[in-house]
Amino acid sequence: MHLKYESFVREPLVDNSKDYHEVSEDIVSPIERKPGRMWYVGFIFSLILLGFGIFSVSWSVYWGLGTWGVNRTIGWGWDITNFVWWIGIGHAGTLISAILLLFRQGWRTGVNRAAEAMTIFAVMCAGQFPIWHMGRVWDGFWVLPLPNSRGPLWPNFDSPLLWDVFAISTYFTVSLLFWYSGLVPDFALIRDRAKTKFRKMAYGVASFGWTGTAKNWQRMEALALVLAGLSTPLVLSVHTIVSFDFATSVIPGWHTTIFPPYFVAGAVFSGFAMVNTLLVITRRILGLEEYITIGHLEAMNKIIVLTGSIVGVAYLTELFISWYSQSWGEMAAFQWRIMGPYWWSYWAMMTCNVVSPQLFWVKKLRRNIPFTFVMSIVVNIGMWFERFVIIVTSTYRDWVPGSWAYYSPTWPEVGFYLGTFGLFFTCYFLFAKYCPVIAIAEIKFVLKTSGENYKKKMEAIDAMDAQEFIDSVHAHHGEEHHEVAAH
Amino acid sequence: MSQKQYWSGIEDLNNINTPREVVENEFKEELPFELSDSLFGATTPRRDFLKFLGFSTLAATLVASCEMPVRKAIPYAIKPEDIVPGVPNYYASTFADGGDYCAIVIKTRDGRPIKIEGNEMSSVTRGGTSARVQASVLNLYDKARIRHPYADGKEATFAAIDGMIKEGLAAKPGYLVTSTVLSPSTKEVIAQFLAKYPNVKHVTYDAYSYSGMLLANEACYGKRTLPTYHFDKAQTIVSLGADFLGTWISPIEFSKGYSKGRKISAKNKNLSRHYQVEATHTITGGAADHRATCKPSEMGKVAVALYNAVVNGAAPSLPSKALNELVNKAAADLKKGNGLVVGSSNDVNIQTVINAINDKIGANGVTVNWTVTSNCKQGIDKGIVDMVAAMEAGQVGSVYMHGVNPVYDYFDNKKFAAALAKVPVSVSFADRMDETAQKCKFVLPDHNFLENWGDAEPKPNYISLQQPGIAPLFKTRAFQDSLLTWTGATQTWADFWKEYWMKKTGSQDAFDKALQDGIIEPAGEMANGGAAFAGKTDEAINNIQNKKPHAGVELVVYQKIGIGTGGAWSNNPWLLEMPDPITRATWDNYLCVSPKRAKELNAELTGFSEVESKKVVVTVKAENGYSVNLPVVVVPGMHNDVVAVAVGFGRDKQVGRAAASDDTKGGKNAFPFMVFNGVTTEHHSDVTIAKTDLKYDIAITQTHNSYEARPVVHEYTLAEFTKDPDALLKERGAEISEFTALPWIEEGKEGKIDSNKEEGYRENGTLYPNYPYEGVKWGMSIDLNSCTGCGACVVGCMAENNVSVVGKDHVLKNHEMHWIRIDRYFSGMADDPDTIQTVFQPMLCQHCDNAPCENVCPVSATNHSSEGLNQMAYNRCIGTKYCANNCPYKVRHFNWMDWNGADCFDDNLYEDGRRDDINDDLTRMVLNPDVTVRSRGVMEKCSFCVQRLQEAKLVAKKEGHPLKDGGAKTACQQACPTDAIVFGNVKDTNSSIYKIRRQEQAERTFYVLEHIHTLPSINYLSKIRNTDEINAMDENKNEFLKYHI
């Protein structure tokens, strides 16, 4: 008897009785079927948003950034707010797949694939903003340290914006590799099940000739570990470096050493909220409630309440330090932030990010799906406001009062933001249609330990007293030994 | 076998080898990269080859994909003698516009005027300029100028029109209407014309008249003229409503003089004291030491109270305590001598009382000069009123109007238009189809002043010659030529003018010198003398006392410093976009109201309204029935029962695209609010105000009015400064001594800083190595005490540096491009206008030696020069705007749109309807070819006029001497009428900038935001007010500190 035991205190990670075939069937069949009506509605809506985004960006590039509301005082508005927001969202996937992998958190298997996909799409969305907010986007490649005939003239390695370029492109590359390497065995599974020639060919190419040999698996595991090791520092570094855009400046409200941890916590916070938003919908539409269980959502909600509290402490620390510093610039910046014309954005941030997640201390609410869904959106609204507060309400009233100004976005800015939603969901819908949204191989890996029916089988053993159990183990041990010996 | 060698020259013979090499490689040109070592000599030349191939292909593709428009440049067939392409020529000339006078130097490049500077040889304006003088060059290239004469609205020739006019001239009586004529030769032409046609009368009409003063002076001194005011000699200045630094009579002259009395240092603590009583808030009020407000109808009583206080020490009983106190103090100071009282009222009685005060305090002959008087304003209102009556009665056969636009600016303009219709022959010499020209039978466009010969005599025997900078652009004719033709003279105006001055100067040499200098003046200091006062003071006082006070709201009609009374200025985009010094509003006129009255209208200044550009619209109705809708702009320091509206707006669409007005743009005409009282036109009237539900956008560039008690501005009273001149040094020391007092330097002591400490702070305030500046290191000093906020620097900078005009819609979005802005801060109690103190601070790129903008640019587009300039490489900029965000002074300006057509995007030039003419091929002739026209998507900012610095260095190099102090001047410095800006090489210990910082003004020197260690290259000198207390720092005295929503 092969014995894998996991405490009954732990919830099963896969509900109901599932065997390997059923797992494959449940997860792969949506890919093999024609998509449902909801998928079409969602996909077309996303495409429309994306189209509007492309139109808005084209408009801004053709006519110039004067079509935006950003101005001489507030040089960054919705553009960089959205950039930081999307980058933050892009943190959850890699955190789940890398850090939780290193910490051997079995529950990550249900959510990691979707979360990683979300990360990649979010980083793609984020990347649009620094590109298209440039006044002369056609010269944007000058930020790359390419050998050139202009001198040669190199980028300014002192500039945090340049660090961003490196940090984000590295993060995107590693995340993409990590995600794709996990997809390879699952693509092979689809290929093997494929009944149409095209599908067989397409997934055959995508799976790189995976045959499922022990060597294949061993290499994949090794690669996963290496990439996890590589991504772990990246999860922390990307948002740290993004925070340097602000932390290294001289503007009160930006010039803060607390930013790196504060940004990372906020990123995890918003990323997990976004994962929740997507999973609640995905599990429902694709009928994957048995794989993405309430237990999964609860685990996510716990992280949300933790990181939400961290950012709450960070906000209060900022306030305390601005008072403790007795530096007039600092004190005034926070005063204007809280009580100036943009007071509403500060209080929206405080309410959404600090106050409301505290409700997740209540177990009932943590396990309540509609509540989780609403909260996941509230958190992301709050995190959007956090970035808005940092970026806009620091610059709008900085050092010299004569230059103070106000800022409201114009339609191309809003359109650009909506467009990135279009990009994100277009990618996500395509992903949900063509890729297994749950890592099949990894689910199978935990199925016999943490699947509900396998856990049920352990009930008899759990009922034994200790001596009985030892005896039975010994007995089995003997048998197994024999079997091995027989080989 | 030897071959016969021919040598081509003596060098060839002497050294046979070298020349051959030279001959063989005659057209040798180095490749732009090092071939020998890095490419062919390298271990992996293949890779380098691919690198070069790849990137040159990419670069070529990029370049090729960007199609630039082809513009043709036609070279001279015969090069004019004095024109060297790329080298500017300067011509001394004169700016005279309806009595507004300035001696100027025209800078021309390749035959076109591109910049106006002040002529430093003039003892009247002394090199100063105003915003309007700076902007006048743009009027030359105004697209709205008419290009040929019109008869009955159709194109005609001068000859044809001359014929028709000559017929009409002899018949019925006619009128020649001009604005104030400063030109003696033109006066001669007019005299000849009038002599030939005795039934033509000459009427001088000033839209904003000084008749009250002229008549009072005639009554008191027997001279219908204005005196010369010597503000530089005045120890006590009392102004009853006169905005002498902004718009009153001769503001450039007065600013120059006034600023002399405002220069103060720890060594020379003498500071004039300036009292201002006014109804509205002017920049002169902003500069004042003591300021109180009254209604315009109460101004007479203030004058009388001051008179009584001066004469018999009578205690004043004026409507407010502040007024009483001010009058008492002012009277006491005036009695000490060297006093000067001026007043803007157009009421003869009030001017008589003011004359009486000046007489009593002995100002005549000291600060009020009756020997050398002023010709700047000559119009008498009665003249035109009588003329209108005659026109209405059908007695007038012809009217000739030069420099005037009464259909727009006459107080009863409808009546004038109706009367004009009854005149058979009406002639306008306007440069555009203005309101009057449209109603005239003939329009004979005059030359622009930059196209014409002329002269001006602002003061008797103080002459300034006007020579053209360019040949006439259109089919225009000098006004004088028209008169000469009609008179029957065969001479052209140019010949007449030359003969006139040849005769006066006596010889060709003297004439040439006068023309070159532009100035003919008596030698030595200006003569000064008094005059016997014979005014009927008691009668005037009685008249004033008998006037019934008005209980309601009064409206003041004022001139904006940029727009004046309208004219061509209304269509000048530079001036329209120049923020008003007080309201900081652009492109419109509006109703200025006090914060208290605004609260009643629900349009207060505080809270969200501060950032809200949509202003409440009110209906203003005058007693004469004239009524307009105007948006409300809150101006602290306005009297609570006074509202004000500027003239020069509400123009007809043919005045120009920028001026055109309707309900959605361009403001409203305020001239009909003026009232004729039987003798003179009063510039105020009684009105009622009713709120409407409408809103109107006003583009204001500064929305926050307080400097929040921050060390951005430092203000002291004279008493504080006298007591402890080192107060500012101590304050700075508290911040920076810490960095100096490192153990190995000296004991840490708080207190005064010297140059060592400043250097210590520079070195120890950073972790990075310090850049040792050798040779030139540029620096600027701005004196907050001298700056009056007039805006000449703003426009001067626009003209010099091709700064874009962005239009109202983009100013609303804070997209304006001014490289230098003048921050204006209020302090005091909002509801009490008498407590308001105003300070102006020019803010431009500080050229920080530790610049926050430089290290954040991802592509190093902004970097530091070895001379301390923070410079922009526009070509390198990709427009991330990070530098602007990280600039603590917010002086970087992004090209949000294609303002100038400098892009490779076709047809995406920004157009808004009003600013568009700025990109017309004609208007673009004003662009300075030495300065890049920036394309869309790049950041720009003040360059310290680097093109001028380079030129100055080259000139010094050519002349073979080190750069002299004053050799390089920035445009803002040169434009400034108060010498508030000093610029130079701080490494040169003989330079004035060095002396100011280290010696003369060390006590007043400070750097804005010094504590963040940006190490600015611009220092400011603290504001010293000759007053009792400074409100700004005290929350109980400065309500603006509490406006935190």
User: pLDDT tens digit string along B195-225?
Assistant: 988 889 999 999 999 999 999 999 999 989 9
Q: What is the pLDDT of residue B144?
A: 92
User: Is the Cβ pair A159, B856 closer than 8 Å?
Assistant: yes
Inform me whether the pLDDT recorded for B29 exceeds 50: yes
What pLDDT, on the 0 to 100 scale, is given for residue A91?
A: 83
Mean pLDDT of A156-180: 91
Contact B881 A75 (CB under 8 A): yes
Can you give the pLDDT at residue B605?
A: 62
Decide if A250 and B884 are in contact by the 8 Å CB cutoff. Answer: no
Residue of higher predicted confidence among A445 and B415: B415
Contact list in A for residue B882 (CB cut-off 8 A) is: 75-76, 159, 161, 245
pLDDT of residue B569: 93
What is the Cα–Cα distance from B135 to B116, expressed in whole angstroms?
8
Q: Measured between CB atoms, which of B703, B888, B936 is closest to A135? A: B936
* pLDDT score of B524 more than 60: yes
pLDDT tens, position by position, B593-644: 998 888 888 776 655 556 788 888 999 999 888 999 999 999 999 999 999 9
Closest to A159 (Cβ–Cβ): which among B855, B891, B1009? B855
Give pLDDT, residue A379. 92
Residues whose CB is less than 8 angstroms from the CB of residue B231 and which lie 6 or more positions away in sequence, other chains included: B237, B244, B254, B257, B258, B260, B261, B272, B340, B367
How far is Cα B100 from Cα B378, in angstroms, rounded to an integer?
Answer: 11
Instruction: Name the fold adopted by B150-209+379-517.
Output: Rossmann fold (3.40.50)
Q: What is the mean pLDDT of chain B?
A: 87
Distance from CA of B611 to the nearest CA of A (A): 6
In chain A, whose CA is at the least distance from the CA of B850?
A250
pLDDT band at A439 (very low <50, low <70, confident <90, very high): confident
B440 burial type by CB count under 10 A (0-12 exposed, 13-18 middle, 19+ buried)? buried
Residues of B in contact with A341 (CB under 8 A): 607-608, 610-611, 1045
Q: Which CATH number fits domain A20-143+155-450: 3.40.50.2300, 1.20.1630.10, 3.20.140.10, 1.20.1440.230?
A: 1.20.1630.10
What pLDDT score does B22 carry?
56
- For residue B716, is pLDDT > 90? yes
User: B483, B449, B562, B572: which is closest to B96 by C-alpha?
Assistant: B449
Q: Note the pLDDT tens digit of each residue in A241-278.
A: 999 999 999 999 999 899 999 998 998 899 889 888 98
Chain B residues whose beta carbon lies within 8 Å of the beta carbon of residue A64: 895-898, 908, 910, 936-937
Q: Where are the domains of chain B?
A: 10-65, 150-209+379-517, 211-374, 715-783+983-1045
Whether pTM > 0.80 for this model: the answer is yes
Instruction: Using an 8 Å CB-CB cutoff, list chain B residues near A336.
Output: 1044
How far from the centroid of its chain's Cα atoms is residue B269's Cα?
A: 29
Chain A CA closest to residue B860? A156
What's the confidence (pLDDT) of residue B30?
A: 55
* ipTM of the modeled complex: 0.89
Q: Which of A149, A156, A340 sits opposite B56 (nearest CB)?
A: A149
Residues on chain A touching B827 (C-beta within 8 angstroms) = none
Measure the CA–CA gap between A238 and A421, rounded to whole angstroms.
21
Which of B996, B763, B1008 is closest to B264 using CA atoms?
B996
Q: Do B897 and A328 touch (CB under 8 A)?
A: no
Inter-residue contact B559 to B674 (CB < 8 Å): no
- Weakest-pLDDT range from B41-50, B601-610, B637-646, B921-930: B41-50
Average pLDDT value for residue range B34-51: 56
Q: How confident is the model at residue B67 (pLDDT cuts 50, 70, 90)?
A: low
How far apart are the C-alpha atoms of B796 and B137, rounded to whole Å?
Answer: 11
- Rg from Cα positions in chain B: 31
How far does the CA of residue A236 sit from the closest CA of chain B (Å)?
22
For residue B755, pLDDT over 70 is answered with no
Q: Which of B56, B878, B892 sits opposite A135 (nearest CB)?
A: B878
SS3 B1035: coil
Q: Identify the closest residue of chain A to B880 by CA–CA distance.
A: A134
Residue A485 confidence (pLDDT): 41
Q: How many CA atoms lie within 13 A of B1015 on its CB side?
A: 20
Residue B742: the pLDDT is 45
CB-CB: which of A76, A135, A340 is closest to B895? Answer: A135
State the pLDDT at residue B231. 92
Exposed/middle/buried for B651, CB within 10 Å: 0-12, 13-18, 19+?
Answer: buried
Q: In the CATH scheme, what is the homologous superfamily, with its name and number, of domain B211-374?
A: Dimethylsulfoxide Reductase, domain 2 (3.40.228.10)
In A, minimum Cα distance to B815 occurs at A71
Beta pairing partners, B186: none
Taking only the tens place, the pLDDT of each residue in B433-478 is: 999 999 999 999 999 999 999 999 999 999 999 999 999 999 999 9
Residues B472-486: b if buried by 16+ CB within 10 A, e if exposed: bbeebbbbbbbbbbb
**3-state class (DSSP) for residue B632:** strand
CB contact under 8 A, B894 and A72: yes
Determine, for residues A402 and B52 on separate chains, whether the beta-carbon distance falls below 8 Å. no
* CB crowding B538-561: b at 16 or more within 10 Å, else e: eebbebbeeeeebeebbbbbbbbb
Nearest residue in chain B measured CA to CA from A147: B51
Confidence of residue B101 (pLDDT cuts 50, 70, 90): very high
Q: Select the residue of A137, A140, A250 nearest B1012 (Cβ to Cβ).
A: A250
To the nearest whole Å, the CA of A196 is away from the closest chain B CA by 43
pLDDT average, residue stretch A85-96: 85
Percent of residues, chain B, with pLDDT higher than 90? 60
Cα–Cα–Cα angle for A338, A343, A344, rounded to 5 degrees:
135
Structure token digits, residue B1000: 């003369």
Return the SS3 of A27: helix
Q: For residue B610, which residues of chain A lie inside 8 Å, CB to CB?
A: 341
* Contact yes or no for A75 and B51 at CB 8 A: no
Boundaries of every domain in chain A: 1-13+451-475, 20-143+155-450
pLDDT > 90? residue A460: no
User: In this structure, are strands B174-178 and B200-204 parallel, antiparallel, or unpaired?
Assistant: parallel
pLDDT tens per residue across span B257-307:
999 999 999 888 899 999 999 999 999 999 999 999 999 989 999 999 999
pLDDT at B609: 59
DSSP-derived secondary structure for B942-986: --SSHHHHHHHHHHHHHHTSPPPTTSS--HHHHH-TT--EEEEET
Phi, psi of B676 (to 5 degrees): -95, 120
Q: Which of B59, B610, B884 sits opposite A75 (nearest CB)?
A: B884
More confident residue, B189 or B75: B189
Alpha-carbon distance of B796 to B802, in angstroms, equals 10
Cβ-in-10-Å burial (0-12, 13-18, 19+) of A448 comes to middle
Count of positions (residues) in chain B: 1045
Q: Which residues of B44-69 are buried (b: 16+ CB within 10 A; e: fewer)?
A: eeeebeebeeebeeeeeeeeeeeeee
For A220, the token pair is 């994949």
The mean-pLDDT minimum among A208-222, B4-18, B111-125, B843-857 falls in B4-18
Mean pLDDT of A353-361: 91
Q: Do B886 and A72 touch (CB under 8 A)?
A: no
* Closest chain B residue by Cα to residue A393: B885
Can you say how many angstroms the Cα of residue B530 is from the centroid of all Cα atoms in its chain?
A: 32
CA end-to-end distance (rounded Å), chain A: 16
Nearest CA in chain A to B707: A401
Residue B518, sorted as left (phi over 0), alpha (psi -120 to 50) or beta, turns out to be: left
Q: Looking at residue B748, what is its pLDDT?
A: 44
Average confidence (pLDDT) over A129-134: 93
Are the Cβ atoms of B814 and A133 closer than 8 angstroms? no
- For residue B1014, the chain A residue with the least C-alpha distance is A250
Among B52, B707, B814, select the one facing A401 at the smallest CB separation. Answer: B707
For the stretch A7-27, pLDDT in tens is 777 777 777 777 788 888 888
Give the residue carrying structure tokens 């219908």: B224
